[in-house]
A = this chain, B = another copy of it.
Amino acid sequence: MTINFVCVGNLKEKFSRDAQSEYLKRMSAFCKVNVIELKEQNQLENPNLIVEKEGDEILKNLKGKTILCEINAKQFSSVEFASFLKTTMQTSSTLTFVVGGSFGVSEKVKAACDEKISFSNMTFPHNLFRIMLLEQVYRAFTILEGKSYHK
């Protein structure tokens, strides 16, 4: 099983990189995991152009079953998310999560992704959102394996 995280933007703060390292290490007990960081196109001034250019790079990196993280999508509980991951992993040995940039993702990316999920009605910064996603995927594995994992 391989899980890819395709993310626009890098982690600027050390605490975010440290948190990512920790959750990637824990997750590596369950699957092969890759983080693919794409460059934010903030040098462009037009948000539509930014989203299009970032989208073109995202599209090049979509592999296996693809899951777009989007604020306006169905929300799962952690147990439902684990069950959703289990079902999705039965159809493909590779999953790719997509986390867009500050201006969201292009319509092409939305159309190309197989599934869409929302974590919250709230908007989080991409660094913190990435950690929330890694933690929930790690949590999903612990739920599926019946391991205790202290909150």
Contacts and interface: CB of A to CB of B under 8 A. Distances in A.
Interface stretch (A15-23, A47-55, A62-70, A107-115): A15-23
4 pairs of A and B residues whose beta carbons are closest in the complex: A15-B18, A120-B120, A102-B151, A15-B19
Interface in A108-151: 119-126, 128, 131-132, 135-136, 139, 150-151
B131 A151 contact: no
Nearest to A23: B128
A132 B124 contact: yes
Given A18-B14, A131-B128, A120 B123 contact: no
Contacts of A75: 120-122
A9 to B, nearest CB: 9
Interface in A33-85: 75-78, 80-81
Nearest to A100: B151
Nearest to A131: B128
A78 B71 CA distance: 11
A136 B121 CA distance: 12
9 contacts: A13-B18, A15-B19, A19-B19, A78-B123, A102-B150, A102-B151, A120-B122, A123-B139, A128-B131
Contacts of A121: 75-77, 80
A16 to B, nearest CB: 7
A135 B139 contact: no
Contact of A135 (B22, B80, B124): B124
